[in-house]
Amino acid sequence: MTVIDSAKNKKSPSPWEGFRMGIAVILAFLIGIMSVISGSLVLLNYNIPNYNVVNWLVIYNVILGGISIIAAIFIWKNTKSTKKLIVEILILHLLVFVYLYFFSQEVALESLKAMSFRISIWIVIYLLTFKKISQKPLNITK
| Dihedral sign from CA coordinates of 66, 33, 107, 124 | negative
Mean pLDDT (whole number) for 38-58: 90
Strand spans (E) along the chain = 2-5, 10-13
Domain boundaries, the chain: 21-130
Please give the pLDDT value at position 134: 44
Please give the pLDDT value at position 140: 58
Mean pLDDT (whole number) for 60-81: 94
Q: By 3-state DSSP, what share of the chain in percent is helix, strand and coil, each rounded to 5? A: 70, 5, 25
Torsion-angle region of 108 (φ positive above 0: left; ψ -120 to 50: alpha; else: beta): beta
Give me the percent of the chain exceeding a pLDDT of 70: 82
Residue among 125, 105, 104 nearest 22 (CA)? 125
pLDDT band, residue 12 (cuts 50/70/90): low
**For residue 136, is pLDDT > 80?**
no
Mean pLDDT score of the chain: 86
